[in-house]
Structure 1
Amino acid sequence: MTDSDVTTSMFERIGGSATIDRLVDRFYDRMDTLPEATIIRAMHADDLGLIRDVLKRYLTEWTGGPKLYTPEKGHPRLRQRHIGFAIGDAERDAWLLCMRGAMEETVTDAAARQDLDRAISGLADWMRNRT
């Protein structure tokens, strides 16, 4: 990691709003089409439009971009918001499969992608609520 990586937000490093939009769209496209993602696709509404928008706003803020999530939704409280869903290793792994594929397609800076993957992986692991 360079000094500029420390002072530059992940949001800026990956390309800002345009990259977040593409990342989330590719993530949900993968969830909709990959057989390995059936387990997590079943946790979502038929229409993914609303949740796409929510994830875009969340990831924008989480990566250091404009505060688009908390003014409307408040503190993320991710585990609390997801407690009604059984999230174990299989669900985490399916989610990460979709997200990693989406990152490969949309985040062109390899170092930023690696750092984002590390952070996203920790977040996904923390979301498990079943053994």
Structure 2
Amino acid sequence: MYQSFGGATGIRTLTDRFYDLMELEPKYQALRQMHGEDMTLIREKLYEFFSGWLGGPQLFVEKYGHPQLRARHMPFAVNVQVRNEWIACFAQAMSELDIDKALAEPVLIQVFAMADWCRNQNEDGVEPPMPPMAVDPVIRIPELKNVLKQYGVDSYFSIFPA
């Protein structure tokens, strides 16, 4: 997957576009507000994480140890809106970079499961998060499709099962 996404250059381009969109698009305002003024370090951390997660060099693990995504996000109030903005922003970055849908869609499903696991706010009427591999992530597709539609980034992702 690492090479399919363009190796180091492709992953850097994707993560940079993600953070550029977060700063540019008002629809990602709640997500942006969670981050400090200078996002240089967090840009680098996301690049390092995705490098290893997609099968490339384990840059994040070498620097910081196991990702422990849920624990690392506990200091931040991650609710459904923030999760949704994160996944929509990531989907928009992939679509703008025209990443092959056959690669982008399975990754997006897995990333949605990870993003959901990072939720740490109790919200009325919202089920608590499940660990990413607790269930087949494919069952999350209807919810993911709704999120992408809500943020207007659904048109690129056309091969999800109906």
Shorter-chain-normalised TM-score: which range?
0.7 to 0.9
Task: Determine the structure 2 residue equivalent to 1:5.
Answer: none
1:63-108 deviation line (CA, Å, top 9, x unaligned):
1111111111011111111101111110001111110001112252
CA distance, structure 2, for counterparts of residue 85 and residue 50 of structure 1: 16
Q: Is the 8 A contact 1:54 1:69 kept in 2?
A: yes
Tell me the amino acid that sits aligned with residue 12 of structure 1.
Answer: Q
Q: Distance in 2 between matches of 1:113 and 1:71?
A: 26
Letter in 1 for 2:87: L
Query: Normalization by structure 1: what TM-score?
Result: 0.88
Runs of 4+ in structure 1 deviating by more than 4 angstroms, as ranges, are: none
RMSD of equivalent CA atoms: 1.1
2:51 and 2:118 mapped to 1: Cα distance? 19
Structure whose residues are more often helix by fraction: 1
Q: Structure 2: any 5+ residue segments left out of the alignment? A: 124-162
Identity %: 39
Task: Identify the residue that residue 124 of structure 1 maps to in structure 2.
Answer: 115
Structure 1 segments unaligned to the other structure (5+ residues): 1-9
How many residue pairs align between the two structures? Answer: 122
Alpha-carbon distance in 2 for matches of 1:29, 1:54: 15
Looking at structure 2, the residues matched to 107 and 72 of structure 1 have their Cα atoms a distance apart, in angstroms, of 30
- 1:106 paired to 2:97: yes
Cα distance, 1:18 vs structure 2: 1.2
Higher relative contact order (CA 8 A, sep 6+): 1
What TM-score, normalized by structure 2, do the two folds share? 0.72
